[in-house]
Amino acid sequence: MRLRNKPWAKPLIEANPQFITTDPKKYRSAWQERFKKKAPLFVEIGTGKGQFIIEMAQEYPERNFIGIELQTSVAAVVLKKQLELKLNNLQLICANGSGVSEYFENGEVTGIYLNFSDPWPKKKQAKRRLTYPTFLEQYKMVLEEKGHLEFKTDNRGLFEYSLMSMNNFGMVFDKVSLDLHQSEEAEQNIMTEYEEKFSQRGQVIYKLEAHF
Ligand code: SAM
């Protein structure tokens, strides 16, 4: 997702440190203090405009959520929604997910969501895929022992790559769906913006759940 540069984005982020940070290292091992109550922590990397993480926060008030988005203009769109909703179990980070082990203490996170991550299809771009081994290493560090990773995509190439990458890393698969919307999970599935767009075009959605 690319949005045109929004001049208001950076000032809006700077004016609302209670909901969003560009310096997540500052809160390492202290994230729970940013929420109204202590609760298991779930992190989405690459929120886009935030439909998924916002609906998750509304649906599961007994959990705390953090959305990480790299692009300032996109993170500011999520922030705008949060400024209206003021969900007390949602915090935002505007930073690169590649630093996730610097943002969270070992075992601080219960679940990680990757939704419709950029596929980076060229071989030389593989290192940027959010399921590349250097990312998996970091997820392993920050996830608690029983923590898990959920990944959805419409991109078959990225899905196959991710299955192999996680399998080679020694991860254990709890669920694999080759057509999420026709599966028994469909009813409780919370859709992302990309998921709505691609499924309306008739594309199949893949999903996996795995742990280390
Ligand atoms: N998850 C949303 C959805 O399913 O509708 C957005 C999908 S969009 C294809 C991918 C998003 O991930 C973009 O907004 C992009 O800026 C963000 N992103 C890509 N790489 C990232 C990274 N390393 N750290 C944080 N965000 C990232």
Q: What is the pLDDT of residues 101-139, one digit of tens each?
A: 999 999 999 999 999 999 999 999 999 999 999 999 999
**Distance in angstroms (rounded) separating the CA atoms of residues 136 and 131:** 6
Ligand 1 pocket residue status of 54, Cβ below 6 Å:
no
For residue range 66-80, what is the model confidence (pLDDT) as tens digits?
999 999 999 999 999
Ligand 1 pocket residue status of 105, Cβ below 6 Å:
no
Mutate to test the pocket of ligand 1, among 118, 131, 192 (most ligand atoms within 8 A of CB): 118
User: Which atom of ligand 1 sits closest to the CA of residue 195?
Assistant: 4
Q: Which DSSP helix (H) or strand (E) runs through 75?
A: helix 72-85
At 64, the pLDDT band (50, 70, 90 cuts) reads very high
**Distance in angstroms (rounded) separating the CA atoms of residues 177 and 181:** 9
pLDDT at 1 over 90: no
Structure tokens at 203: 């594309």
Ligand 1 pocket residue status of 1, Cβ below 6 Å:
yes
Report the topology of domain 39-211.
Rossmann fold (3.40.50)
CA-based angle 87:143:125, to the nearest 5?
Answer: 95
> Residue 149's beta-bridge partner residues?
112, 210
Arithmetic mean of pLDDT over the chain: 97
The per-residue pLDDT for 135 is 98
The per-residue pLDDT for 193 is 97
What letter does residue 36 receive in the DSSP assignment? Answer: S
